[in-house]
Amino acid sequence: MYYQAYHPIDVVNGPGTRCTLFVSGCEHQCKGCYNQNTWRLDSGHTFTQALEDKIISDLTDQRIKRQGLSLSGGDPLHPHNLLAVLSLVERVKRECPDKDIWCWTGYTYEQLSSEQQAVVQHLDVLVDGKFEQTMKSPQLAWRGSSNQRVITLSSSAET
């Protein structure tokens, strides 16, 4: 997998203070996409074991407490990203069980394949659907257009 950016301290992509990973690869081509440089699967940098280790280390940092991990992009549920993202979310839930995981995808929940569902079962919140310019609103929390949904998947998730 490739990624565009990793922010070890982030207060804008989800609730609280978080770690955020922007992965590469997106097939949705939404009009008005703010992140077109993430569309190519091989853009950005290689996602390495060392970065996965750093994310775990940042999430468990006692000096600056993180509420959780945000996965954005690009699309973390692009079929080519699933193996690496599954490995990451399984590890976060195993080694950082008190942290929540939010994920933004251009697929709708109903469109998800069984392989994508295997990732989603480890998430706390999924923000789903393509960005639709005609339904754009700055008033919306955590999403750009009103067709997108903030779907709570675990009872402990705070939205």
Q: Which CB sits closer to ligand SF4, 67 or 72?
A: 72
C-alpha closest to that of 118 among 83, 148, 70: 83
Of 13, 38, 67, 70, the residue at the interface with ligand SF4 (CB under 6 A) is: 38
Asked, as a colleague might, if the bond just before 74 is cis with ω within 30 of 0, I would say yes
- Residue nearest ligand SF4 by beta-carbon distance: 106
Which residues 104-133 are close enough to bind ligand SF4 by CB under 6 A?
Answer: 106, 130-131
Q: Give phi and psi for 63, each to the nearest 5.
A: -80, -45
30 is an interface residue for ligand SF4 by CB under 6 A: yes
Which residues lie closer than 8 Å to 34 by C-beta, 6 or more apart?
131, 144
Question: At its nearest, how many Å lie between ligand SF4 and the CB of residue 64?
Answer: 28
Q: What is the CA radius of gyration of the chain?
A: 15
Contacting residues toward ligand SF4, per CB under 6 A? 26, 28-30, 33, 35, 38, 73-75, 106, 130-131
